[in-house]
């Protein structure tokens, strides 16, 4: 492999990890469910402590030079 092809390969790999994979992650799975503590029984009384929160994440911007991403989160649904 020539030095130019090695640099190009390294650049493409780095670029894919910095930009393409986060974009695929945020647009491929925009809704995540989070569950806290299942039903609990204390003194014969059943408490339903289940909470489901549906979140949506939107990628606002990504800065390659500073290696930062700005993501806007919003709650779509809550129980």
pLDDT digits (tens, 9 = 90+) for 40-74: 565 666 656 556 677 888 889 888 888 888 999 88
Q: Total structural domains in the chain?
A: 1
Give the pLDDT band (50/70/90) at residue 32: low
Q: What's CA 77's distance to the chain center, in Å?
A: 17
Task: Flag whether pLDDT at 36 surpasses 60.
Answer: no
Q: What pTM was computed for the model?
A: 0.33
Query: Which residues are bridge partners to 31 per DSSP?
Result: 56
Residues paired with 63 in a beta bridge: 68
More confident residue, 45 or 12: 12
The domain in which residue 62 lies consists of: 3-78
């Amino acid at each position: 492999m020539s030095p130019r092809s090695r640099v190009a390969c390294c650049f493409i790999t780095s670029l894919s990890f910095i930009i393409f994979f986060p974009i695929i992650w945020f647009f491929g799975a925009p809704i995540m469910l989070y569950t806290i503590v299942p039903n609990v029984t204390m003194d014969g009384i059943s408490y339903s402590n289940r909470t489901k929160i549906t979140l949506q994440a939107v990628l606002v911007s990504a800065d390659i030079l500073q290696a930062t991403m700005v993501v806007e989160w919003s709650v779509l649904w809550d129980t």
